[in-house]
Amino acid sequence: MNSERQYGIGDASFQAAGGQDGIFVLVNNFFDRMGSDERFATIWNMHPDDKAISRDKLARFLCGWLGGPKLYSEKYGAIGIPRVHAHLAIATPERDQWLTCMSESVNEQPFAPEFKVYLMEQLFVPAEAVRRRCSAQESIV
Ligand code: HEM
């Protein structure tokens, strides 16, 4: 049985998310939801028109971030999450749109309930780092 502490070890989180297939299903659900629900219109409209690339990038990133294969860097190179968002207007409402959209998608996946909680707690960390980076950017302008 997985306890929360084990999820961060090795590829335990990647496996708990259903591996590469499970993560791609999650990310497709996330973008389908973002594009079809007015509550997420602001962040949907921030993305480039070609959402297929956005889906591929986020899914590949999450595979490596959860301890699985480094699929993002294999295809796209190195990444810093706050840096790639620095040009965007992401404050608390936009951060929360992203987290709410992701949380609703996570809840539809066949993941263990304790992994769903753990995953959203972990995702808050980079989401908040993005918000901080974007607000620092605004104060420079
Ligand atoms: C805080 C709320 C967030 C918002 C509103 C947001 C929104 C966006 C947008 C609009 C883009 C496209 C940027 C562009 O191409 O111009 C993007 C890219 C991306 N985001 Fe986020 N994001 C958020 C948080 C996150 C988090 C927490 C992660 C990872 C855990 C993440 C991972 C990525 C990745 C991997 C890309 C692709 C970067 C690239 O290669 O160009 N984002 N995000």
Q: Is the CB of 112 under 6 A from ligand 1?
A: no
Contacts of 83 by beta carbon, 8 Å cutoff, 6+ apart: 133
Q: Which CATH superfamily is domain 13-140 in?
A: Globins (1.10.490.10)
**Could you tell me the residue ranges of all domains in the chain?**
13-140
| pLDDT tens by residue, the chain, 141 residues | 555 559 999 999 999 999 999 999 999 999 999 999 999 999 999 999 999 999 999 999 999 999 999 999 999 999 999 999 999 999 999 999 999 999 999 999 999 999 999 999 999 999 999 999 999 865 554
Q: Positive or negative CA dihedral for 36, 83, 68, 57?
A: positive
Q: Is the CB of 47 under 6 A from ligand 1?
A: yes
Rounded to whole angstroms, the Cα distance separating 135 from 71 reads 29
- Encode 69-97: b = buried (16+ Cβ within 10 Å), e = exposed: eebbeeeeeeeeebeebeeeebeeebbeb
Atom number, ligand 1, closest to the C-alpha of residue 72: 35
pLDDT at 136: 87
Per residue in 49-81, pLDDT (tens digit) is 999 999 999 999 999 999 999 999 999 999 999
Distance of CA 38 to the CA centre of its chain: 19
